[in-house]
């Protein structure tokens, strides 16, 4: 942990935290920092921080300078990342416009929307474009076969293709879970919330165009699910953790710390066992969250309370089911309007935070949320009053160790037989071996993973073109 502390201090600085960096600069091994940033896909963000250091700490950098060759290499990588972002932004806008013109409601998941929260939106290392299309699987398949070049393979949650040289995933739904019960609940939650996500329009930097992205209130649950899925599949890195740090920070700033939702009651439609406030519940109740989470914020065990049937997804529909007010404003005011439309008030849940915590428990994410809060606190300095769940130290230390070992999407793992680099057959058994290490921490998901993966393999064979 001590060997990575200077890196975490620099990351906090890169993300805008005001702290004295003199001692960090003095003890920094710049080549090792470059290796860490490369492994975690953070070269662009870290280079932005180094540029700031040059302006704010010139004397300290003279005492421990970055070698010219390393600096030029790093600068080249940062410029490459900037160009990649510009390309991906242009293609994302083109893809969104094309789908909308063809009558398909959609939103762009993760990457391009997350980049907008960075101090410099061009510093985030981009990946492919994930677009969630709010339509039936059959309609998406029919459309994709006409408009895109598709390979033989198909996955349960998406189709893989490309547009103008940029990899694209056309999602039937945003994410899956290994456990069938939690997976079914998650899909119900996605369906309930699809309309608002496809209506939340923002502008991309430098006039690159407009896209729809999920609201912050949606992302605080969805992107945690995404992290959870990849934790079992291959691993997650600091890039994904920083994305989620920015989501939680934005969510806490605009929802349960500052923003008053008293004029925006959003009751949930009753569905199955999910929570539904009384139609008579008004929006006049106090929904300003307390300054701290409603539960103790550090837990050694991190055990969740039993999932409540009173939990459900949020949607924009009022009691009458009207969605006409679902559209949100674009770019400049997006962060506040994105969260304005996602919560309800009722007698038993007067704060947005309580609603979020109910959702996390109902969707089987509570223990993992505690682990992620620990990592966000230890690595990036997330204050306790902004957390969405109590810190779970035991699970958090495990998660942080996995992040530092595996790097971006687990591509640098050497333990577990280096499973991410093995052949398909060998990887199958190595992943089972790895996930058995997590049974004591996340039993439902860890035990379900090999069953789901085996089922998914035969499903893909059956549904191949």
Express each pLDDT in 306-319 by its tens digit: 333 333 333 333 32
pLDDT top residue among 460 and 411: 460
**Weakest mean pLDDT among 42-51, 260-269, 411-420:** 260-269
pLDDT digits (tens, 9 = 90+) for 376-386: 999 999 999 99
CA 244, distance to chain mean position in Å, is 5
**C-alpha distances in angstroms, 451 versus 178, 455, 457?**
8, 6, 10
pLDDT digits (tens, 9 = 90+) for 426-439: 877 888 888 788 89
CB within 8 Å of 446: residues ≥ 6 apart: 232, 435, 436, 438, 439
| Confidence (pLDDT) at 421 | 66
Question: What does the pLDDT average to over 345-357?
Answer: 62
Where a domain ends, among 12, 41, 66?
Answer: 66
Determine how β-strand 106-109 pairs with β-strand 166-171: unpaired
Residue 249 sits in the same domain as residue 138 = yes
Q: What is the C-alpha to C-alpha distance for residues 336 and 250, in angstroms, rounded to an integer?
A: 9
Residue 15 sits in the same domain as residue 136 = no
Residue 112 sits in the same domain as residue 239 = yes
CB within 8 Å of 76: residues ≥ 6 apart: none
Is residue 332 pLDDT above 80, yes or no? no
Residue 198 sits in the same domain as residue 85 = yes
Which residue matches tokens 């003279």? Answer: 62
**Weakest mean pLDDT among 16-20, 254-258, 268-272, 397-401:** 268-272
pTM for the full predicted model: 0.80
Residue 114 sits in the same domain as residue 181 = yes
Q: How many domains does the chain have?
A: 2
Alpha helices in 212-325 (DSSP H): 216-233, 238-251
Residue 262 sits in the same domain as residue 402 = yes
| Confidence (pLDDT) at 426 | 80
Residue 368 sits in the same domain as residue 442 = yes
CB within 8 Å of 53: residues ≥ 6 apart: 13, 21, 25, 60, 61
| Confidence (pLDDT) at 267 | 29
In the chain, the largest separation of any two C-alpha atoms, in whole Å, equals 67
Where a domain ends, among 17, 45, 66?
Answer: 66
CB within 8 Å of 400: residues ≥ 6 apart: 1, 374, 375, 378, 379
Where a domain ends, among 46, 66, 86?
Answer: 66
Alpha helices in 126-237 (DSSP H): 137-147, 180-197, 216-233
Task: Report CA Rg, the chain.
Answer: 22
| Confidence (pLDDT) at 252 | 87
Structure tokens at 44: 């662009």
| Confidence (pLDDT) at 76 | 98
| Confidence (pLDDT) at 257 | 54
Range of the domain at 336: 67-463
Residue 231 sits in the same domain as residue 96 = yes
Q: What is the C-alpha to C-alpha distance for residues 275 and 192, in angstroms, rounded to an integer?
A: 12
Q: What is the C-alpha to C-alpha distance for residues 453 and 449, in angstroms, rounded to an integer?
A: 6
Give the pLDDT band of residue 109 (cuts 50, 70, 90).
very high
Is residue 289 pLDDT above 70, yes or no? no
Which residue matches tokens 């004591």? Answer: 440
Give the pLDDT band of residue 256 (cuts 50, 70, 90).
low
In terms of average pLDDT, the best of 129-138, 148-157, 246-255, 281-290 is: 129-138
306: left (phi over 0), alpha (psi -120 to 50) or beta: beta
Residue 135 sits in the same domain as residue 50 = no
CA 72, distance to chain mean position in Å, is 32
| Confidence (pLDDT) at 78 | 98
Residue 46 sits in the same domain as residue 167 = no
97-122 burial, b at 16+ Cβ within 10 Å, e below that, comes to eebbeeebbbbbbbbbbbbbbbebbb
User: In a 10 Å sphere around its CB, with 0-12 CB exposed, 13-18 middle and 19+ buried, how is residue 31 labelled?
Assistant: exposed
**E strand intervals along 326-402:** 391-392
Q: What does the DSSP 8-state code read for residue 122?
A: T
Give the pLDDT band of residue 4 (cuts 50, 70, 90).
low
| Confidence (pLDDT) at 424 | 77
pLDDT above 70: percentage of residues in the chain: 77
Which residue matches tokens 């530092």? Answer: 404
| Confidence (pLDDT) at 465 | 64
In terms of average pLDDT, the best of 301-310, 342-351, 406-415 is: 406-415
pLDDT digits (tens, 9 = 90+) for 214-226: 999 999 999 999 9
- Terminal CA-to-CA distance of the chain, rounded, Å? 48
Q: What is the C-alpha to C-alpha distance for residues 104 and 110, in angstroms, rounded to an integer?
A: 19
Residue 56 sits in the same domain as residue 84 = no
Residue 362 sits in the same domain as residue 286 = yes
Question: What does the pLDDT average to over 381-392?
Answer: 94
CB within 8 Å of 11: residues ≥ 6 apart: 42, 45, 46, 49, 238, 242, 379, 380
pLDDT averaged over the chain?
80
Which residue matches tokens 């994305």? Answer: 243
CA 434, distance to chain mean position in Å, is 23
Rounded to 5 degrees, φ, ψ at 133 are -100, 125
pLDDT digits (tens, 9 = 90+) for 18-65: 889 999 999 999 999 999 999 999 999 999 999 999 999 999 999 999
The angle, 0 to 180 degrees and rounded to 10, between the axes of the packed helices 68-101 and 43-56 is 130
């Amino acid at each position: 942990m001590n060997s990575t502390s200077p890196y975490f201090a620099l990351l906090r600085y890169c993300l805008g935290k005001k702290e004295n960096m003199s001692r960090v600069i003095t003890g920094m091994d710049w080549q090792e920092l470059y290796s860490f940033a490369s492994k975690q896909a953070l070269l662009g963000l870290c280079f932005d921080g180094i540029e700031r250091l040059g302006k704010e700490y010139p004397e300290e950098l003279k005492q421990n300078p970055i070698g010219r060759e390393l600096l030029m290499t790093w600068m080249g990588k940062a410029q490459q990342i900037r160009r990649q972002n510009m390309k991906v932004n242009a293609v994302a806008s083109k893809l969104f416009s094309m789908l909308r013109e063809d009558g398909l409601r959609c939103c762009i998941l993760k990457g391009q929307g997350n980049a907008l929260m960075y101090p410099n939106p061009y510093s985030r290392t981009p990946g492919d474009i994930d677009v969630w299309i709010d339509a039936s699987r059959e309609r998406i398949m029919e459309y994709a076969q006409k408009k895109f070049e598709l390979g033989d393979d198909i996955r349960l949650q998406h189709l893989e293709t490309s547009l103008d040289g940029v990899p694209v995933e056309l999602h039937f739904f945003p994410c899956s879970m290994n456990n069938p019960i939690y997976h079914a609940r998650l899909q119900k939650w996605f369906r309930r919330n699809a309309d608002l996500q496809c209506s939340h329009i923002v502008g991309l930097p430098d006039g690159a165009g407009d896209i729809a992205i999920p609201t912050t209130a949606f992302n605080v649950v969805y992107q945690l699910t995404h992290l959870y899925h990849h934790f079992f599949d291959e691993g997650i890195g600091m890039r994904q953790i920083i994305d989620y740090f920015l989501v939680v920070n934005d969510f806490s700033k605009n929802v349960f710390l500052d923003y008053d939702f008293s004029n925006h009651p959003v009751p949930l439609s009753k569905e199955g066992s999910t929570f539904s406030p009384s139609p008579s519940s008004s929006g006049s109740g106090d929904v300003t969250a307390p300054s701290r989470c409603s539960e103790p914020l550090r837990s050694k065990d991190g055990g969740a309370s039993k999932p409540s049937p009173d939990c459900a997804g949020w949607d924009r529909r009022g009691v009458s089911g009207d969605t006409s007010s679902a559209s949100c404003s674009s770019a400049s005011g997006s962060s506040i309007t994105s969260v304005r439309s996602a919560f309800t008030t009722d007698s038993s849940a007067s704060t947005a935070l309580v609603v979020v915590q109910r959702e996390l428990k109902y969707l089987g994410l509570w223990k993992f949320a505690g682990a992620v809060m620990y990592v966000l606190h230890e690595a990036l300095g997330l204050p306790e009053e902004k957390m969405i769940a109590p810190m779970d130290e035991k699970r958090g230390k495990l998660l942080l160790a996995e992040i530092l070992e595996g790097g971006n999407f687990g591509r640098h793992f050497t333990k577990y037989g280096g499973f991410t680099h093995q052949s398909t057959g060998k990887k199958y058994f190595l992943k089972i071996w790895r996930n058995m290490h997590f049974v004591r921490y996340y039993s439902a998901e860890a035990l379900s993973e090999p069953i789901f993966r085996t089922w998914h393999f035969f499903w893909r064979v059956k549904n191949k073109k």
